[in-house]
């Protein structure tokens, strides 16, 4: 086992990270217990188990399994990127603080960071799985997929899975996925995207070569099964694009309605005006609005 100590950056809360990763949902890609977080990491050549906990203002990372020193330093960077520890949201907090309806968030959600999905393939699959179904069911579907096709690593009684690789899914069939309660359409989308990644026709590097924003959205929405929402969700979670807004997101619209920031769900003008006030921090605004949905009395704010 190797241990690394990562100091908290300003405006960072590990508790908020844990809260967001948990949210009373059943995410099969990590495990939370007693303030500790476990996650399996695929280095490309091996699987290791990461264990995280906080000691005051330090994030402690334990890596279970044999790891070369250089690999350990790389994993620290992976963790920092995953938990959004490289973001510097001071400017976002300043904007938030000046907003009459949202200023409470700087206290209520203090330190919440955008937790990412470093694999574009996983981000796209997950967003497709989550299309138009409630989150609880979406997490159940993901668990079935991951436990059936993804590899796992075990250490000290903990067994964590990683998301399947494209080639793990490319060989399955629509019928097999339908039997796992995926709709026929989603099964087709997932298989098609798996094929694209497995063949090299689509990759994170390829997408990163395009300028952020409209060009990347256009490249993604050209793929069957990927619409505006899915493309922006993936750009937000994977490439951490500050300007990516999953337009049409039901949760986002509900949060905006609850805060009285739009008049109805078709009020695209009101939505546009609001996001114009948060240039470069649109994705963080989405994140904090999603966060607000879990506050029991958010409607009374």
Contact pick of 135, 196, 219, 295 for DNA (by CB under 7 A): 135
Contact pick of 10, 156, 171, 184 for DNA (by CB under 7 A): 184
Of 24 and 300, which CB lies nearer to DNA in the complex structure?
24
Q: Does the protein bind DNA through residue 181 (CB under 7 A)?
A: yes
Q: Which stretch binds DNA (CB under 7 A): 32-40, 68-76, 79-87, 181-189?
A: 181-189
Contact 194, 169 (CB under 8 A): yes
Q: Which stretch binds DNA (CB under 7 A): 3-11, 83-91, 105-113, 247-255?
A: 247-255
Contact 253, 262 (CB under 8 A): yes
Say how far residue 256 (Cα) sits from the centre of its chain. 20
Catalytic residue among 81, 249, 264, 297: 249
Distance CA 36, CA 50 (A): 10
Say how far residue 21 (Cα) sits from the centre of its chain. 9
Contact pick of 79, 146, 160, 226 for DNA (by CB under 7 A): 226
| Nearest distance, CB of residue 293 and DNA, angstroms | 8
Q: Which stretch binds DNA (CB under 7 A): 41-49, 67-75, 94-102, 249-257?
A: 249-257
Q: Does the protein bind DNA through residue 230 (CB under 7 A)?
A: yes
Q: Does the protein bind DNA through residue 229 (CB under 7 A)?
A: yes
Distance CA 239, CA 218 (A): 15
Tokens of 146: 């991951």
Distance CA 16, CA 13 (A): 5
Q: Does the protein bind DNA through residue 237 (CB under 7 A)?
A: yes
Polymer length in residues for the chain: 301
Contact pick of 132, 199, 263, 299 for DNA (by CB under 7 A): 132
Tokens of 199: 């063949």
| Nearest distance, CB of residue 266 and DNA, angstroms | 7
Q: Does the protein bind DNA through residue 248 (CB under 7 A)?
A: yes
Contact 152, 161 (CB under 8 A): yes
Q: Which residues pair with 244 in a beta bridge?
A: none
Which residue in the block uniquely carries the two structure tokens 């009020």? 267
Of 73 and 250, which CB lies nearer to DNA in the complex structure?
250
Distance CA 127, CA 154 (A): 27
Of 71 and 295, which CB lies nearer to DNA in the complex structure?
295
Give the largest Cα separation in the chain, rounded. 56
Q: Give the angle 42-46-50 at the CA atoms, nearest 5°.
A: 55
Q: Does the protein bind DNA through residue 178 (CB under 7 A)?
A: yes
Distance CA 183, CA 185 (A): 5
Q: Does the protein bind DNA through residue 82 (CB under 7 A)?
A: no
Contact pick of 68, 137, 147, 273 for DNA (by CB under 7 A): 137
Residue 249 bears catalytic tag: yes
Q: Does the protein bind DNA through residue 225 (CB under 7 A)?
A: yes
Within residues 255-294, the interface with DNA by CB under 7 A covers 290
Instruction: Tell me the C-alpha to C-alpha distance, in Å, between residue 183 and each of 165, 169, 177.
Output: 21, 16, 8
Active-site annotation, residues: 249
* Interacting residues toward DNA by CB under 7 A: 130-138, 140, 178, 181, 183-185, 221, 223-231, 233, 237, 246, 248-251, 254, 290
């Amino acid at each position: 086992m190797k241990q690394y100590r990562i100091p908290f950056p300003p405006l960072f809360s590990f508790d908020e990270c844990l809260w967001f990763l948990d949210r009373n949902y059943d995410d099969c890609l990590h495990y939370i217990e007693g303030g500790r977080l476990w996650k399996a990491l695929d280095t490309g050549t091996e699987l290791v188990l990461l264990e995280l906990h906080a000691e005051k203002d330090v994030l402690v990372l334990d890596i279970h399994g044999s790891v070369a020193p250089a690999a350990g330093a790389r994993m620290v960077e992976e963790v920092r990127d995953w938990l959004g520890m490289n973001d510097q949201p001071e400017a976002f907090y300043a904007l938030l603080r000046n907003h009459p309806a949202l200023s409470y968030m700087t206290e209520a959600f203090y330190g919440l960071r955008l937790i990412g999905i470093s694999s574009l393939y996983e981000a796209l699959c997950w967003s497709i799985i989550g299309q138009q179904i409630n989150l609880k069911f979406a997490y159940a579907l993901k668990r079935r997929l991951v436990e059936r096709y993804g590899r796992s690593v075990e250490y000290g009684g903990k067994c964590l899975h990683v998301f399947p690789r494209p080639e793990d899914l490319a060989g399955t069939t629509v019928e097999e996925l339908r039997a796992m309660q995926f709709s026929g359409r989603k099964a087709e989308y997932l298989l098609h995207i798996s094929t694209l990644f497995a063949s090299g026709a689509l990759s994170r590097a390829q997408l990163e070569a395009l300028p952020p924003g409209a060009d990347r959205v256009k490249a993604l929405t050209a793929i069957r099964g990927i619409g505006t929402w899915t493309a922006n969700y993936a750009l937000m979670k994977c490439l951490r694009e500050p300007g990516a807004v999953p337009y049409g997101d039901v949760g986002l619209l509900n949060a905006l309605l609850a805060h009285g920031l739009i008049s109805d769900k078709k009020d695209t003008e009101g939505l546009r005006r609001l996001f114009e006030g948060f240039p470069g921090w649109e994705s963080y605004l989405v994140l904090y609005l999603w966060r607000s949905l879990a506050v029991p009395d958010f409607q009374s704010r």
